[in-house]
Structures are given as C-alpha cells and as structure tokens.
A and B are shown apart, each in its own frame.
Chain A
C-alpha cells in the first residue's frame, strides 16, 4: 500500500507504522505536507524539516528528508541557525501548539519579526497529546484538559493574529478536513520568501476530543466541516477560536517584506561599501 503512494519517496517507510492514534489528524497533515513538498518545485534534498517535542514533534522522524527532532520549544532557533549557515536550504519547522506557542512562543515572535526565511507549520490540536492532554495556549476558554479539569480559565492565543502582528508575510489556517486547501497553503508557504505560517487545526480525539465530548476522529472532522467558514483575506483580529468550535479558515496574509538576509545584505553593503560581499552562507 505504502509503495503505491505517489509521495512514498518522501516518507521513511522503514519507520512505519507510526505511533499516532487512529483518528489522529497528524497523518493527514503529513500527507498534505509531502504533497506540498513534492509539488513545490524544490528538490527534496534541499528541504529540511525541524520539529520540536510532542506528538507533532514526531513528524520530522517520519519524513525522508534531512530532518531534525530537536528540544521542546526550540525548533525555530535551531532552524534559524540551519538556514543562516546554508541559505540554499528550505527550512520547514513542523510542530505543535504547545511546543511553538507555550515554551517556544518567544522564538516564534522573534523569527516572525526578523522575517527569517522559513516556513512554520503548527498543528493545532488544542492540547499536549504526548503527555496526556494538558491545557495549551490555544485551548479554548472553558474546554476541559487534564490540567484544567474544571475547564480552561485562560483566554487562548489567536495564532494568525499573533503571526500577523509579529510580522509574518504569509499566514493561513485550514483544518484537516480541508486537505486540498491545506496542501496548497503549505506549498505556497514553502515557496514564499520570508517567514510563512500555516496553522492546521487537527483532531486529537484520544485526549482533547474525548474530554470535550467531541466524539471520535471522524466526528471531529465532521465538526470541522460544519463549523468552518472560508474567509480569505479576513482581518486576523477576527479569526480567534472559542469553545463554540467555529473556525475561520483561509489565507489571511500574503505580503512582501525583505527577508532577514535580504535586509542584512542590503544594509551591510550600504555601510561597508564595495568591500562587502553578500552573505550567502558559510560554505
């Protein structure tokens, strides 16, 4: 079966079966990603994936690309060093909401501010799956988590708004129900110069769905279908999610801004004069 997959060249088939639960949305996101990677026009050798820790953090290990499974919350600074050492690489950070926005939140906003040339894919399942379903910075207020047994008493991040205001040049959100659009968004994000961000709302039926009476993986997908609206170009201030389950999807931001390296080279050339050679990597 695996061999018939047109993108099996980008999967570590020797590591299958994967560790994810049945009904988990992660496999769907990976399926979309490998299609995006295969269709983005770059040779696979040039695409590198960096993950943090958690259920989503395991993605790097299943992709047959140069791939790094780093520390909790730190895939973005690792990716920053990797990209700057070799700017010819397309560096994709693939991690979860807890990893990227709790422990790693500071790195996210700074990489966006710098317009560091990388794509960040956040699989947002509103919980820490690997450790048993704790509350995260995206858990809707009122939702139940193992560390919020009476319901989350905090307000969540609106990730597209955060990415937008921190300076990302591409911001989109889709769910695992929207496989075609999610694939296209990841492809566009990979092709975009600068800091691009794709949020993929994805079911964790085992921990988040079960505790919040959302049914199994299929029921949750059904919920995405019913509760999502597509509003390309929506003001990111208006796309926050809450316990109602309503999800605004679409491409919200697609703009131009000099990337970190473009700005770096322009400004250093202006200051140092003709003696300055554009930085194009250490090699």
Chain B
C-alpha cells in the first residue's frame, strides 16, 4: 500500500541524518514514538515531538530508555507503528526489550545513533561499536535485522525500509546510524506518497474465539491481533505454544525459538541489501558500512588511481550478515579489508565467513573521529601487494 500523505513532506530538503530519520518514520506511517534525550540522537525525537501532533501521532518522552523501549511495544499491540530512538548508553538499557520484542514478535523500530564508547564515552563524537550489541545484546537466542545508513538520504529511505521489514517479519529492526551520519546535512529527496511503498500490518482473519497468536499455518510469520479487537488473546515473554500460553517443555522451547531464528535466517537473501562497486575481478575488496564507507570510497579512489583492482562492498544490512555474497567473492578475491570505528566487530563476522580462504585485514579505530583515507589506502596497497606479489609495486 502507499504512504499516508499526511506524514509525507514531499520535496527536496536540506536535512541532517537525524531529521531525515524522523521524516522517514513519518512517511513509513509511524505514529507513536517514545524516547529519552541522549546525544547525538535527540534531534530525531525533537523533530518528531514537533511533527507528530500535526499528523495525528503521539510522542511521549518517557522517564528512561527502559520505559521507552517497552512503551513502543505497548503501542504496537494497541495498533500503532512505533519506534524509539537512542544512543549507546540508552541502547544498553533497551536490550531486555529487544529480546521481548523478538519473543512476542512485536514489529517495532529501534534507532541507535552510535557515539564513541564504552560507557558515557564521547557523546558528541562518532563510534560504530554497538554493532555486536545490536545483534547479541539481549539474552537468549533470537534474530534481528539491522540497517546502516551512510547519508541523510539513506537515513530517510532506510527508516521506511526498517518499518516495512519489521512488519513483514514481525521483528525488531535496528537502524544503526552514527554521530557523523546523524549530524551531516545533505540534500534529501522525499518522494510523493504514491511513490512510497508501505508494508501494512498483517492482522488475523480468524473468527473471534479462534485466534491463536502464534499459529503460523505453515508460514514463518504468524498474523497479529491488536488489543480491543475482541480476540481476547494472551501473549507472554515466557516460552509459549501456538495459543500464546506458557509451556516449560524443551519441545516447545525448540519450536518457539527455532522459528524466531529461522524466519530471518531462511529469508536472509530477501532481507540483505548491499552496494557494490567493481567487486567482480577485484584483487582486494574493502567491506564497510555507515560513515566509514564514505571514507573508504575516498581511499578506494586513491588506490584505483594507482591501478589497483579494488572493489567496495558496502553493508546496508549489517544483520543478517551477507554470508552468501562474501563466500561467492572469496576465492576470486585475495583480500578483504574492513575499517570500522571499533576494535573489531563486524570484521570478526566477516573473518568467520572468509574462513581462512582469503586474507583479511582489520582497520580498527576507537571512534571519536573517522579513519584517515590514507590509512585505508595504505592497507589496500599492502593487501594488493600480498595478493599479487608478482606485480611490481612500481607498475602502479
């Protein structure tokens, strides 16, 4: 279905990533947001606080991030599309409710504008060190989806996509921004409502009294109900059967959790999006995401000017991780380089997939600023030389 015109600010704008994310939420049909102020994400909720009352939405500033992260879930079960917004310290507080959303299969969106950590760290400066927390931060086993915009335009576009994916898979979707992307201002084009594709919530068509909240009818994702529709259903964070009732048997645990994992794993190829440039036939591939991808582009240009065959693979979806695509490239490509604003997070996931069949280089960085392109450039050269020792460096 198409976007509700009420929320869509069609036209070309000059927006920072935070504000673009707010507009993405409005275009996606998000009409409930809860949040707690935290740098560098606060601008998102500030814009929402001003825009929502004009389009029939509700923003509430909660007493903390714990409350925000579950208030949105109450809103979803009441019929809203909802999100919360935070940065590292608040994201840490939200972890329990990411698991809760995964367990109840509550479609919702979490935005983390990453700053340098750990702890209070550097609130106004960038980091990319919440990537593993996004994937594994809540206890127990589950799958989530995480997207990594690298521009204000993408903050807008991917926020819409996040809401759509949340509905399609009934899963919490994380938008892993960073301080640079959140605060950089660029042109953002907001299309007309008819051009924006929105995934509607799939409500049950069961007769009253017959709805079973987790009966999937052979599909991976069950239809949902909302409070007040007369189904008088029960849902719980305890391991539950198809009726939503708690059951403490290993068999039900296996059935319940297996599907939470499989619905994402088996659909990974449909969920994953990547941006590639000259990856076919490359000797070296730089794999990057978020703000680091923009620094990488500069480094890659420098290396290409030297004649090095270097490709770029940008993770737009960080989770699920693009295992299949990287496996395809391993064997044709000698080396993979990953710069990230942490001491190795997505890198180790990539290394696991490469499985020793190509060289891998981590370019760690504590955050607070971004890599210098020269650092990435030098590593590209070094890696290329290792892969093609027969080619003289002077030939470049």
Contact = CB atoms under 8 A, between A and B. Distances in A.
- Asked whether A and B interact, the reply is yes
Contacts of A61: 234, 236, 245-246
Q: Which of B53, B71, B73 has the most CB of A within 10 A?
A: B71
Interface of B: 31-32, 34, 53-54, 56-58, 60, 62-64, 66-68, 70-82, 96-97, 100, 226-238, 245-246
Contacts of B63: 77, 106-107, 110
A45 interface: yes
Chain B interface helix/strand/loop/mixed:
mixed
A279 B78 contact: no
Contact of A85 (B80, B231, B233, B235): B80
Interface of A: 12, 15, 44-46, 48, 50, 60-61, 64-71, 74, 76-86, 88-89, 106-107, 110, 268, 272, 275-277, 279, 281-283
A77 B228 contact: no
14 contacts: A65-B232, A68-B236, A71-B96, A74-B70, A81-B34, A81-B75, A81-B80, A81-B82, A82-B75, A85-B32, A89-B227, A268-B53, A275-B54, A282-B58
B53 A272 contact: yes
A84 B70 CA distance: 13
B228 A80 contact: no
The 9 A-B pairs at the shortest CB distance, nearest first, are namely A81-B74, A85-B78, A69-B236, A82-B74, A81-B71, A81-B75, A77-B67, A78-B74, A85-B75
B79 to A, nearest CB: 5
A84 B96 contact: no
Contacts of A65: 232
Contacts of A279: 53, 56, 58
Contacts of A76: 67
Contacts of B245: 15, 61
A50 B53 contact: no
A244 B91 CA distance: 45
A178 B52 CA distance: 46
Contacts of B62: 77, 80, 110
Contacts of A281: 78-79
Nearest to B100: A71
